[in-house]
Amino acid sequence: MSEAALDYLILGANGQVGRELARAMQPFGRGLVLGRQECDLAEPGAVAATVSRHAPGVVINATAYTAVDRAESEPALARRINTEAVAELAAVCAERDIPLVHYSTDYVFAGEGDKAYRPDDATAPVSVYGRTKREGEQAIMKSGAKALVLRTSWVYAAHGHNFVKTMLRLANERDQLRIIADQIGAPTWAATIADVTALALHGWRRAGWSEQMAGIYHLTASGETSWHGFAEAIFEEAIAHGLLDPARRPTTEAIASSDYPQPAPRPHNSRLDTASLSSTFGVVLPPWREALSHCIRALAG
């Protein structure tokens, strides 16, 4: 297979979303999925060289610096990966007229109020992670590249490090857990993100990579809950699917964010309005609890 014949290139092979994209994008054509060893965004020039060498039909960037708390003490590295490398990627995609898909986050918002943020609402990130992700978005928008920027939230999967895996581990280690209840959002399965991305890309390609369809969208499961509510649902699903002995289910105490201080502030309101994504690409976002059940079932084998 010649490199020029690639229909798509996925960056971030080992991440939660990247691994699901490798599955979901297979019907799209010939693809290549690269991890950090093959393309390290921390290395200046690496991503531009990779895109130039492979000349894919579309690039999907599922790589990011996501260590939210560590970013507070590693701002230069977070900015290198989330902003500078993204700017390089957008520039080469614009130069070669290659459509780009990039993932962003609810952390670009201040997290105030109780209404779901729309894609065009004012951003006001309050953490290094949020600021660097927003700067990455801005770099894409300024580059002239035809791009979809998909903001998501509370991502989990059957693999990798995430809240679901942590809760299942802690359920077998502790009798009681204290879990934050004043942060509200939509837990979003990585498989949902990948499947919706693939559907959107099929529609965008059929429309000739229309610039009118490009822009910033929100991609999360439907519905909302707190981290405490999410944990309770995880335990219920784990018991239902035989992953957790009911006798081992820990009791949970709902606490405030102030009771669990962290280096990076978290948004209290992580609700994201997905209406424009659904209307533009004709996709339906599944309820978060339904997607969680599918994930737990996959973990149970």
The catalytic site residues sit at: 129
Rounded distance between C-alpha atoms, residue 162 and residue 262, angstroms:
17
Residue at token pair 């949020």: 130
- CB distance 9 to 58 below 8 Å: yes
Rounded distance between C-alpha atoms, residue 62 and residue 169, angstroms:
26
Residue at token pair 């369809």: 213
Which conformational region is residue 12 in: left (phi greater than 0), alpha (psi within -120 to 50 degrees), or beta?
A: left
How far separated are the first and last CA of the chain, in Å rounded?
35
Largest CA distance in the chain: 59
- CB distance 15 to 21 below 8 Å: no
Tokens of 43: 């290395």
Torsion angles phi and psi, residue 274, rounded to 5: -100, 10
- CB distance 143 to 90 below 8 Å: yes
Integer-rounded Cα radius of gyration of the chain: 19
- One-letter amino acid at 22 equals A
Residue 93's closest CA among 45, 135, 144, 141? 144
- One-letter amino acid at 267 equals P
Contacts of 14 (CB under 8 A, 6+ apart): 35, 36
User: Helix 190-206 crosses helix 16-24 at what angle (to 10 degrees)?
Assistant: 50
